[in-house]
Amino acid sequence: MNNQTFQNLPLERLSSVLKEQHETFSNIDLGTPREILPEIIAGLASPKILVITGLRRVGKSTLLAQIAHNQLADNYFFVNFEDERLLNFTADQFDRLHEALISLFGDRKIFLFD
């Protein structure tokens, strides 16, 4: 495995990682609609940040995919920070990440972070 961290990940490689993540997320099995989905969808109308928390392996990523596929069309950025290729990402590097996302997918206002 390549030991590169986000800090020294070339922009071309970062774009490749983000594109791969987007494709994987777009093709995720949506499973059974979660009971809380209607409540979350109602909260999407708010301009506030929506945070979904929970234990590991309980379905947060699937819920996020259900929200994205059912409500957001293709008008969002998706970044999975559990990807070891994004190791050591810090908030001060967000501009670099955002630029890579815009160059790949155009300007969007919704960010989905996993």
pLDDT, tens digit (0-9, with 9 covering 90-100), for 69-114: 999 988 999 999 999 999 888 899 999 999 999 999 999 999 999 9
Half-sphere exposure in the Cβ direction for 70 (13 Å, CA) = 18
Q: What gap in Å lies between CA 111 and CA 99, rounded to an integer?
A: 13
User: What's the whole-model pTM score?
Assistant: 0.87
Q: What gap in Å lies between CA 25 and CA 103, rounded to an integer?
A: 19
Residue that is written with structure tokens 């495995």 in the block: 1
pLDDT tens per residue across span 25-60: 999 999 999 999 999 989 888 889 999 999 998 999
Q: Are 100 and 70 spatial neighbours (Cβ–Cβ below 8 Å)? A: no
φ, ψ of residue 29 in degrees (nearest 5)? -70, 120
